[in-house]
């Protein structure tokens, strides 16, 4: 294996240093390292981060390969600076058996762009009625530790309790899509001033908050660990903050789009802004940013949700929910968190690499940038400014809410175990 010398990068945004990669491992970190026998990547002024880890990606394979495959999704992930993604279970068939999670895991291994850790469904067919084979999925080659019915809420309190009890035995976690189903029947957008004006079915904050409140109490009751997907309201933040202060073992994520966009955009009736949970208000956005800054929200997760053109380019009510996010996540975080002074780059590394790897139990990702560690790295040109053009996406889908928007930062290099998956901003 060849040696690569990354020269003069600001490691985690700090002092400029050289990082020497030898084979799959970081061999040395320091200043004035010898370039002898190494390929040199000049990185002066750029920020070097541990490879990003996404706890919430929809890769769509098996079943919806028209919107994304494991290969196209992992290429999109590498472009966005990710070296590991957790693949959600709402595929066709649902990833609710050892067979399906092993299939996804194997496809990830073959892709070579980004590690894929499958998430197992909590219930059979995501139907919320009967626990899936959680133990068998954990014992499979895929070693599943994160379980989620994402896209749907595990709304039956007894099923949720049993799932929390079951995963506790092997240190797993249930990732809840918090959405009280009865309160959101026919909902099309956030319930508030804009939904009233547009006459669209509203999605009240309480539908999310009531499930989070219930689940942190259930986690406390059974002494297990719960993770809350895509927090979207100020009230959800308050509940998670309360739960953490009480010592409840809860972690939470926020998506880039909930850090930047509001329900005012729905006035355009452009279905690219239709997402679950919905875009909320400016007050919610502010609360989410503050919570991510102070650690109440542990991580940024993309909820990358590819949809083919025909499922989005239609009237609002008929459109599918979700937006792609892997290739723009870091830029949105730079704009909303770093350039606002809420987080430094070390904080970004914590929330987009260290913490998601820890929550998901990934041992070889989210590691410090130091000698002896796996060379999973992302190099970012933070001075770059560019307009988002989905035509350049590696994802098979184009449903981004940022088309035509200027965003800062560009991933110039991504390294997966010492191998460059992105070179000079282009997939290798
Ligand atoms: Zn979800």
Q: Which residue has the tokens 């989620």?
A: 148
Neighbours of ion ligand 1 (CB under 5 A): 150, 177, 229
Domains 3-47+374-427 and 52-360 share a fold: no
Cα(229) to ligand 1 centroid in Å equals 6
Q: Is the peptide bond before 93 cis (omega within 30 degrees of 0)?
A: yes
Judged against a pLDDT cut of 90, whether residue 109 lies above it is answered with yes
Coil/strand/helix, residue 394? coil
pLDDT band at 56 (very low <50, low <70, confident <90, very high): very high
Is 392 annotated in some ligand binding site? no
> Each residue of 206-252: pLDDT tens digit?
999 999 999 999 999 999 999 999 999 999 999 999 999 999 999 99
The pTM for the full model equals: 0.98
| 114-147 residue pLDDT tens | 999 999 999 999 999 999 999 999 999 999 999 9
Q: Is 115 a catalytic residue?
A: no
| Calpha distance 94→150 (Å, rounded) | 11
- 58 annotated as ligand-binding: yes
Residue 27 CA, ligand 1 centroid: distance in Å: 39
Q: Is 56 annotated as a binding residue?
A: yes
Alpha carbon distances (Å) from 24 to 3, 4, 5, 17, 244 = 9, 10, 13, 19, 37
Contact status, residue 272 vs residue 323, Cβ threshold 8 Å: yes
Q: Percent of the chain scored above 70 by pLDDT? A: 100
Q: What are phi and psi of 230, to 5 degrees?
A: 25, 70
Whether residue 311 is annotated as binding a ligand: the answer is: no
Rounded distance, CA 26 to CA 69, Å? Answer: 31
Q: Which class would CATH give 3-47+374-427?
A: mainly beta
| pLDDT score recorded for residue 142 | 97
pLDDT of residue 2: 86
Half-sphere exposure of 369 (CA within 13 A, CB side): 30
Find the 49 Cα to ligand 1 centroid distance in Å: 27
Mean of the per-residue pLDDT values for the chain?
97
Supply the pLDDT for residue 1: 56
Domain residue limits, the chain: 3-47+374-427, 52-360
* Mean pLDDT confidence for 156-162: 98
> What whole-number distance in Å separates Cα of residue 410 and Cα of residue 393?
13
The whole-number pLDDT of residue 258 equals 98
Residue 286 DSSP SS3 = helix
To the nearest whole percent, how much of the chain has pLDDT over 90?
99
**Structurally, what CATH architecture does the domain formed by 52-360 represent?**
Alpha-Beta Barrel (3.20)
Q: Is 403 exposed, middle or buried (0-12, 13-18, 19+ CB in 10 A)?
A: middle
Average pLDDT for 69-96: 97
């Amino acid at each position: 294996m060849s040696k690569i010398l990354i020269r003069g990068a600001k490691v985690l945004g700090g002092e400029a240093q050289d990082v020497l990669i030898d084979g799959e491992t970081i061999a040395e970190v320091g200043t004035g390292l010898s370039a002898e026998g190494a390929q040199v990547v000049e990185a002066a002024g750029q920020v070097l981060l541990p490879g990003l880890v996404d706890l919430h990606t929809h890769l769509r394979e098996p079943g919806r390969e028209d919107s994304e495959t494991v290969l196209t999704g992992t290429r999109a992930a590498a472009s966005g600076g990710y070296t590991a993604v957790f693949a959600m279970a709402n595929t066709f068939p649902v990833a609710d058996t050892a067979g399906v999670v092993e299939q996804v895991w194997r496809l990830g291994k073959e892709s070579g762009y980004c590690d894929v850790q499958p998430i197992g469904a909590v219930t059979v067919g995501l139907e919320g009625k009967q626990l899936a084979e959680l133990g068998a999925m954990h014992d499979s080659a895929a070693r599943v530790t994160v379980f989620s019915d994402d896209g749907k809420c595990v709304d039956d309190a007894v099923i949720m309790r049993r799932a929390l009890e079951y995963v506790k035995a092997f240190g797993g976690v249930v990732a809840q899509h918090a959405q009280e189903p009865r309160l959101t029947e026919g909902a099309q957008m956030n319930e508030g001033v804009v939904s009233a004006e547009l006459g669209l079915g509203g999605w009240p904050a309480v539908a999310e908050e009531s499930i989070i409140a219930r689940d942190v109490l259930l986690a406390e009751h059974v002494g297990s660990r719960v993770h809350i997907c895509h927090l979207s309201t100020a009230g959800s933040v308050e509940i998670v903050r309360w739960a953490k202060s009480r010592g409840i073992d809860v972690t939470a994520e926020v998506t880039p789009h909930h850090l930047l966009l509001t329900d005012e955009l729905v006035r355009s009736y452009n279905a690219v802004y239709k997402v679950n949970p919905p875009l909320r208000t400016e007050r919610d956005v502010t609360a989410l940013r503050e919570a991510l800054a102070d650690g109440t929200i542990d991580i940024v997760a993309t909820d990358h949700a590819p949809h083919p053109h025909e499922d989005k380019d239609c009237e609002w009510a008929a459109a599918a929910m979700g937006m792609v996010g892997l290739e723009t996540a870091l830029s949105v975080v730079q704009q909303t968190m770093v350039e606002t002074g809420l987080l430094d780059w070390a904080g970004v590394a914590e929330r987009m690499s260290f913490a998601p790897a820890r929550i998901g139990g990934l041992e070889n990702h989210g590691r410090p940038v130091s000698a002896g560690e796996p060379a999973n790295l992302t190099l970012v040109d933070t001075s770059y400014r560019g307009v988002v053009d989905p035509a350049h996406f590696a994802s098979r889908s184009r449903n981004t809410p940022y088309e035509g928007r200027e965003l800062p930062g560009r991933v110039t290099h991504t390294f997966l175990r010492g191998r460059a998956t992105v070179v000079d901003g282009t997939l290798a």
